[in-house]
Structure 1
Amino acid sequence: MNEELAFIVDSAKELMQNSITHLEKEFRNIRAGKASPAMLGSVTVDYYGSQTPLAQIANVSTMDAHTITVQPWEKNMLHNIEKAIMIANLGFNPMNNGEIIIINVPVLTEDRRRELSKQAKAAAEFAKVSIRNDRREAMNEIKKDEASSEDMKSNAEADIQKLTDAFISQVDEHYKIKDIEIMKV
């Protein structure tokens, strides 16, 4: 295989790996029963006029399986952080004791578990579509390459298809694990 085709295959592999990485990040944001600091990963706080991620202005940790604590580095930020958590609409009700913010994470109901499972399935399908789009773009690039013989092109296309199948099966495996985690009571 010449350099051009090898570059196309490597680029496709990298893009497909990025889809897997994005899926893993999406799955971390879907809670599965126990409290995790990642649940507040999308919260941004008005910090002296600019929107700042919560993790940059406070220590976010878990006290136990159902409690998240947020300890700001500046005490005067307690109210802003509490307000930001409410605005983020994550379904949490923060409690402020003057020192830290305590968030009790409610136990998931069966309906909520099903809803989260559907959300995980949608994220997995999105990742599969992204991988297939990467395959399509790589196949188009291979067809445009005029410096390579037809045998080299067909070998490169076969390599792209093998990569696609491998990454799609990784997505399925990730979803299966996440679904079991979500549905476990």
Structure 2
Amino acid sequence: MINYAKNYATKKMIFCIDCFKKKVDLIRAGVANISLIENIKIECYGKKVFLNKISRIIVHNNRTLKINLFDKSLKNNVINSISKSNIGLTSYEQNNNIFVSVPFLTKEKRIQLIKFVYKEGENAKIDIRIIRRDINTKFNNMYLDKKINKDDKYRIEKIVQNITNDFIKNIDCILTSKKFDLENS
């Protein structure tokens, strides 16, 4: 039972952290990063496909990404999809490649992004705590049904709390790192 609780809590909380990291990685710090555009969906071949599946994306320089399409006929679709994505990036064509410019961040925009990152961090912490609550409720019910004893229940609660604390610290580290990136880019 204890190993099950440990594995279940860890698995669920890792999923929460991964979702949080993906959201935070999409927030640009004024520096070109492949994660800004790789998950933009492009209309091609009758369905929507992620940009990173139909191209090779590289960081051309600090402020520019370069997209090498596998199928050059998709150029206009890619340029239109980037402009419609509302992420504040501009794209242009040059020598059969697409370049995406990442503009500088204003002070006001940095403040907004930091607030957004902290809000997402708090949401991730809430998700982690909900997982802890669900696990504790499950094992409390098992205790009430006399399927586990009191010592096992408390041992599981302590283990799940320690795991929760570790994941909350992980979220705080990610928040601190992203805040530093946003303030110093």
Match of 1:168 in 2: 168
- Between the aligned residues of both structures, percent identity stands at 24
Closer, same or farther: CA 119–41 of 1 in aligned 2, 3 Å: farther
Matches for 1:140-155 after TM superposition, within 5 Å: 140-145=137-142, 146-155=146-155
Structure 1, unmatched stretches of 5+, are none
The secondary structure found in structure 2 opposite 1:96 is strand
Match of 2:42 in 1: 45
Equivalent AA in structure 1 for residue 93 of structure 2: N
State the alpha-carbon separation in 1 of the partners of residues 67 and 44 from structure 2.
15
Match of 2:32 in 1: 35
State the alpha-carbon separation in 2 of the partners of residues 57 and 173 from structure 1.
34
The secondary structure found in structure 2 opposite 1:94 is strand
State the alpha-carbon separation in 1 of the partners of residues 23 and 115 from structure 2.
13
Match of 2:5 in 1: 8
**Are 1:95 and 2:92 counterparts?**
yes
How many residues matched? 182
Residue in structure 2 matching 1:130, options 114, 127, 134: 127
Q: TM-score with structure 2 length normalisation? A: 0.93
**Quick check: 168-177 or 17-26, which moved more?**
17-26
The secondary structure found in structure 1 opposite 2:123 is helix
State the alpha-carbon separation in 2 of the partners of residues 92 and 177 from structure 1.
23
- Provide the alpha-carbon RMSD of the alignment: 1.3
Residue in structure 2 matching 1:119, options 79, 97, 116: 116
> Relative CO higher for 1 or 2, CA cutoff 8 Å, sep ≥ 6?
1
Partners of 2:38 and 2:57 within 8 A in 1: no
Match of 1:85 in 2: 82
Q: Cα offset for 1:76?
A: 1.1
Q: Cα offset for 1:98?
A: 5.3
Equivalent AA in structure 1 for residue 24 of structure 2: F
- Deviating beyond 3 angstroms after TM superposition, the runs of 4 or more aligned structure 1 residues are none
Structure 2, unmatched stretches of 5+, are none
Equivalent AA in structure 2 for residue 132 of structure 1: R
